[in-house]
Amino acid sequence: MCGRTRCTLGAADVPRACHHTGGPSQMIDVDRYRPSYNVGPGWNMPVVRRDVASDGDGYAVHCMKWGLVPSFTKKNEKPDFFRMFNARSESVAEKASFRRLLPKNRCLVAVEGFYEWKKDGSKKQPYHIHFRDGRPLTFAALYDSWNNSEGETLYTFTILTTSSSSALKWLHDRMPVILGDKEATDAWLNGDPYDSLLKPYQHSDLVTTHMAI
């Protein structure tokens, strides 16, 4: 969890989905992005991050692969995007792969919903979790860059998770960290203290839709 999402947003629509209405200072590698109803680890997705080259509130839309590959990974190692596609928010300050990213490598991921499966007899029933009014969800995430043996730089990210809300515990015990407004997304990108941000989303406008198998 969270291992499958729906993201058919255009790259240019991602900043607004993340509560940023001003234009980004940079659009990086967005031609690699392919919108889809079924996005998983290893997929290229546009994220919003601070633009380290700009002053003040500058931000960039940067297409990265979902599934963190830490910068200390050996250059000749084959990247495994499924190993760290999620990070437990309760332990990000303790684990080396994530702790060093908290000060300056925070980002936002916008999707239209995410999927979970619940076992129903011999089958697994899929559910789509989304906002009732159809607006995008914004997830808290961390990113890193890794240089491989061929001198290429790969940017990757991981989505933070937390314990499930009271309304979703029947479906799964974990859920992504959803930042519900501009105050929360700004605080996350700005590097503010994060304990109050990494909590389950408890509002009733997050709903589940039973999907046909």
Q: Rounded to an integer, what distance in angstroms lies between the CA atom of residue 46 and that of residue 61?
A: 6
DSSP state of 22: S
For the question of residue 63 being annotated catalytic, the response is no
Report the amino acid identity of residue 210. Answer: H
Beta-bridge mates of residue 49:
60, 107
- Token pair recorded at residue 95: 């684990």
DSSP state of 135: P
For the question of residue 7 being annotated catalytic, the response is no
Q: Which of 7, 18, 107, 116 is catalytic?
A: 116
Decide: 198 and 180 in contact? Cβ < 8 Å: no
Q: Which of 2, 7, 18, 107 is catalytic?
A: 2
- Token pair recorded at residue 181: 């407004």
> Which candidate, 185, 105, 95, places its Cα nearest to that of 140?
185
Q: Rounded to an integer, what distance in angstroms lies between the CA atom of residue 154 and that of residue 52?
A: 17
Decide: 160 and 87 in contact? Cβ < 8 Å: yes
CA neighbours within 13 Å on the CB side: how many for 153? 7
- The H or E element containing residue 59 is strand 59-66
Active site residues: 2, 116
